[in-house]
């Protein structure tokens, strides 16, 4: 140690390294403090933002339960474009399953995945579709965002039969959906992904709308206002 400090070059190196360590330590401390202080408000605002987003896809008139509480994990499903487990939010109205919100991926956009939130009612109609994230060309393919245009709203109220299967395409391809000139790959991907989500919901009806019989049987008949049963948040197996 003494030899080390007697050598001027080594001494300089040690002092320099020590200063760097001090700066790193101070920086870490500051960041830790900030993180601790901001963690709770950030979690709260993220929760609020997520709820606001869910309500965009599913109007509050169609559900009366806490969507963030009633969610299940779905196994990876090609129809949803999900290679991993994804979350489904189960909505109910007066204790009856009313709708479901699915996380859907459109893998065939112009560049990268387009992540969607798709709300589907118990009768198989779309209550709303919103784009969560995408990497489409700014100013060109980004009209799928609700903030930029109303394009995405034309899914509202649609179902697998309306328009008929062949018309689930942009007008250019003989379909029923509008698009904007210059970008047709993006809307095609969104339309296909939305239709696949509807097919998934139809195929997995029992899982996504846990039926009355199962729910009602557990509730006393005398209950005036049945309250929705919180569903387990654990992953459900392949139905």
Partner 1 sequence: MGQYRDIVENGLWKQNPGTMQLLGLCPTLAVTSTAVNGLSLGLATALVMAASNAAVAPVRRYVPDEIRIPVFILVIAALVTIIDLSMNAFVHPLYVVLGIFIPLIVTNCIVLARVEAFAAKNPVTPSALDGLMMGLGLTLVLTLLGAVREFVGKGTALSGIDLVFGAEAKAWVLQLIPDYPGFLLAILPPGAFIGLGLLIATHNWLEQRRLAKASMHAALPVAQSH
The site for partner 1 (CB under 8 A) is made up of: 12, 15-16, 19-20, 23-24, 27, 30-31, 34-35, 37-38, 41-42, 45, 49, 137-140, 147, 182
Shortest Å, Cβ 236 to partner 1: 33
Q: How far apart are CA 1 and CA 99, in angstroms?
A: 71
Residue listed under structure tokens 């109609």:
125
Nearer to partner 1, 7 or 34 (CB): 34
3-state SS, 137-160, equals CCCCCHHHCCCCCCHHHHHCCCEC
Q: What are phi and psi of 34, to 5 degrees?
A: -60, -45
Q: Residue 35 or residue 83: which is nearer to partner 1 going by CB?
A: 35
Spatial distance between the Cα atoms of 36 and 33, rounded to a whole number of angstroms: 5
- Residue for token pair 């047709």: 184
Q: How far is the CB of 137 from partner 1 (least distance, A)?
A: 7
Give the number of other Cβ atoms within 10 Å of residue 225's Cβ: 6
Q: Considering beta carbons, is residue 137 or 199 the nearer one to partner 1?
A: 137
CA nearest to 100, candidates 236, 207, 215, 234: 207
CA dihedral of 181, 182, 186, 191, whole degrees rounded to 10: 20
Nearer to partner 1, 36 or 225 (CB): 36
Nearer to partner 1, 39 or 172 (CB): 39
Between CA 163 and CA 14 the distance in angstroms is 73
């Amino acid at each position: 140690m003494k030899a080390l400090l007697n050598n001027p070059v080594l001494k300089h190196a040690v002092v320099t390294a020590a200063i760097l360590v001090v700066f790193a330590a101070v920086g870490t401390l500051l960041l830790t403090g900030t993180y601790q202080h901001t963690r709770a408000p950030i979690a709260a605002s993220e929760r609020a933002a997520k709820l606001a987003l869910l309500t965009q896809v599913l109007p509050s008139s169609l559900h009366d339960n806490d969507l963030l509480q009633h969610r299940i994990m779905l196994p990876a499903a090609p129809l949803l474009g999900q290679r991993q487990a994804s979350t489904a939010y189960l909505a109910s109205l007066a204790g009856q399953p009313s709708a479901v919100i699915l996380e859907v991926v459109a893998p065939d956009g112009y560049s990268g995945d387009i992540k969607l939130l798709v709300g589907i009612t118990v009768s198989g109609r779309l209550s709303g579709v919103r784009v969560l994230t995408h990497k489409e060309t700014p100013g060109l393919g980004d009209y799928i965002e609700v903030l930029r245009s109303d394009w995405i709203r034309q899914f509202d109220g649609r179902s697998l039969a309306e328009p008929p299967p062949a018309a689930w395409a942009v007008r250019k391809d003989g379909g029923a959906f509008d698009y904007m000139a210059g970008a047709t790959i993006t809307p095609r991907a969104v339309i296909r992904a939305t239709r696949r989500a509807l097919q998934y919901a139809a195929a997995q009806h029992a899982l996504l709308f846990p039926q009355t019989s199962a729910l009602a049987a557990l509730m006393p008949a005398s209950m005036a206002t049945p309250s929705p049963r919180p569903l387990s948040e654990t992953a459900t197996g392949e139905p």
